Amino acid sequence: MAADDVPWLTPEQLRAWLALNALTEVLPSAVDAQLKRDAGINRFEYQVMAGLSESPGRTIRMSVLATFASGSLSRLSHALTRLESHGWVVRRPSADDPRAVEAVLTDAGWAKVQETAPGHVREARRLVVDVLSPAQTAQLERICMKLLDAVGPDQADLLRSMPLRAADD
Amino acid sequence: MAADDVPWLTPEQLRAWLALNALTEVLPSAVDAQLKRDAGINRFEYQVMAGLSESPGRTIRMSVLATFASGSLSRLSHALTRLESHGWVVRRPSADDPRAVEAVLTDAGWAKVQETAPGHVREARRLVVDVLSPAQTAQLERICMKLLDAVGPDQADLLRSMPLRAADD
DNA sequence: CCACCTCGTTTGAATGTTCAAGTGTCCTAG
DNA sequence: CTAGGACACTTGAACATTCAAACGAGGTGG
């Protein structure tokens, strides 16, 4: 399944790879911890609600929302069940396609996002944004987009297609 | 708990933050999928065994190993139970400190790492290393180290203290 | 119009992770 | 020498995620 002639990594490459690995493990935990502690939700659930809150009609189809939140449809479905049980989100069959389902953020959900966002942004600043120089921030974005493209284009394309008014998460 | 005067993110900052978020969600999944498919283990377990395989005596104390693999002690303990059940790793009380426990990679574990590493490195190249220019690789490393420092110094310090001969993961 | 395929989503069980509490060892001070 | 606290780790239960199977609604070809 794996040939033996895979070129080994140079020390520079290895350092970057290991550092990135560590970061992808540690940074999500830190963000999760903040959200869990202050708002009782996790990163994925926040991402879902934040996405909805930015969307016209506070509504997004499940499959699109899953891509936006970078998770599987199954994961989203379970998460939505949790969010529904808190009254933050509601499911509704899509008008366009009867097979499809749309998630809608309720007023309570909107309020939850509003009250959660500042603490989350603060953490984003503390851990990432305020740590980097403007040049590094730009570099980071380019690098991430390149890497996202390598994993699979959907994610990156969706990000590129976003209006990106300077808002919340 | 959260003041309302948190400065909002600029569009550039927001883009970088969102891209990084997506990456930290998607990249680990991709690596996990490859390891699961080809070797039946996950990223964390691989990290643990790879760490052991590079270590003098193929032995590391639990608490150090936990930091190296970027996980909690509890997570490591559970993972080690799984690895032990496959015969890849063994626990042994530390000679120095009777409270401490050391994990030791068995010959079978060593063999497992050897046979898993090429496919994993290939994936690391496909997803990250071969995608970036040398300059970007260097930038990525600097940025990751800075961000790791912001989360907490242990992780970054451990990485900095590594010999880093150009070997496996 | 009926069998079959795809698509979008859900479900339940298996698996992995977190969280809080527990065990046993060492160190320190009174 | 002994009570208390800090360590190093383990454990079990609660929780989240993955995985494989299932479901219902549309289309498509015979």
Interface test with A, best of B31, B45, B128 (most A CBs within 10 A): B128
Q: What is the pLDDT along chain B (169 residues), one digit of tens a residue?
A: 445 678 889 999 999 999 999 999 999 999 999 999 999 999 999 999 999 999 999 999 999 999 999 999 999 999 999 999 999 999 999 988 888 999 999 999 999 999 999 999 999 999 999 999 999 999 999 999 999 999 988 889 999 998 765 555 5
Q: By three-state DSSP, how is residue A163 classified? A: coil
What integer pLDDT is reported at residue B65 of this predicted model? 97
Q: Identify whether A165 is part of a domain.
A: no
Number of domains in chain A: 1
Q: Identify whether B74 is part of a domain.
A: yes
User: Nearest nucleotide (C1') to the CA of residue B63?
Assistant: D8
Q: Does residue B72 approach strand C to less than 7 Å at its CB?
A: yes
Q: Does residue B99 approach strand D to less than 7 Å at its CB?
A: yes
Q: Identify whether B25 is part of a domain.
A: no
Q: Check which CATH number belongs to the domain holding A87 and give it.
A: 1.10.10.10
Chain D positions with any atom < 7 A from a protein CB: 7-12, 16-21, 24-26
Q: Does residue A79 approach strand D to less than 7 Å at its CB?
A: yes
Q: Identify whether B161 is part of a domain.
A: no
Of A10, A115, A122, the CB nearest to B6: A122
What integer pLDDT is reported at residue B165 of this predicted model? 59
By residue range, what is the domain housing residue B122? Answer: 30-127
Q: How far apart are CA A106 and CA A47, in angstroms?
A: 15
Q: Identify whether B5 is part of a domain.
A: no
**Residue in the structure block whose two tokens are 């749309």:** A102
Instruction: Using 70 as the pLDDT threshold, list the residues of chain A that sit under it.
Output: 1-4, 164-169
Q: Identify whether B8 is part of a domain.
A: no
Q: Identify whether B51 is part of a domain.
A: yes
Contacts of B70 (CB under 8 A, 6+ apart): A21, A22, A25, A26, B47, B155
Backbone angles phi, psi at B98, to 5 degrees: -60, -20
pTM, whole model, 2 decimals? Answer: 0.92
Q: By three-state DSSP, how is residue A30 classified? A: helix
Q: Identify whether A161 is part of a domain.
A: no
